[in-house]
Each structure stands twice: as structure tokens, then as C-alpha cells.
Amino acid sequence: GAHAYDVRVFTASVELTRKARTLTGVVQLCQLLPGILVPWRNPVWVQFVTHKLLRLATPLFLLTGVLAGLWLVVELLREWPAITLAVLGVVSALVLLVAPLRTLILGAVRWTIAMQFAVVKGVLNGLRGRWSVWTQSR
């Protein structure tokens, strides 16, 4: 007699909760069926690793990319300070002055942060053994 509802409202906070719940399930699956992590026991091991487990590492990949981008900007500032500052100034001005562009970029940043936080939350739920991630509604 149980019913589950997953409202399809696409806001960052609702999607964060949904994504954290599904990623908690990935960690739970690994805990309940450890054989799924063994290549010779899991016929879809490559797909499981690439589609499920690597998703749990995306915050680390994103952080690495951001740090590499910052390093690149620092290096460009050392080599060509005037050109780099001019390009950064033009891009900043466009983002600040063009409202639709600013809205688009800020929305993308907000969603990216929310989705990466969902991954962290899902992994932490799994490491803590917190499997009750469904909320009840009546």
C-alpha cells in the first residue's frame, strides 16, 4: 500500500534532494552487493564504474578543472598581463551588463553547485549508513 511520489519540479533545491537520494542509493548498492565492484563478478562492471561510480567523483573533477583554470589565468597574467586583463575585463563587463547573459551564467553556476553538493551529500549519507533519505508527504 506504499506510494512514492517524485514531483517533477525542476528547481535546484528539489533536484538536489532527488539527486542526493539517488546517489545515496548507489553507495547503498555497493554496500549491500559488494560483488558489483569486482570486474569478474559483474558482467556490466565497466558500465557501472563509468556511469555510476565516476559520478561520485565529479566534485573532485570539477575542483581540479577550476583550479587548472585559475592556474591558467595566473600564467596568462604573467606572460601577457595587458591582453589577459583586457579579455577578463571585456568578459566581466559582458556578464555584468548584459542581463540575460548574467542570468544564464548565474543560473548555470547555481545548478552546478547544487548538483555537486548533491553528490557530496549522497556520498556522506552512504558513508554514514543513512539510508532513510525519502521524505514522507500526505
d(CA 3, CA 105): 38
pLDDT of residue 134: 73
Confidence class of residue 13 from pLDDT cuts 50, 70 and 90? confident
Mean pLDDT of 13-39: 92
Q: Which whole-number Å values give the CA distances from 88 to 69, 77, 85, 121, in the listed order? A: 13, 10, 5, 34
Tell me how far the alpha carbon of residue 31 is from its chain's centroid: 22
pLDDT of residue 109: 92
pLDDT of residue 63: 96
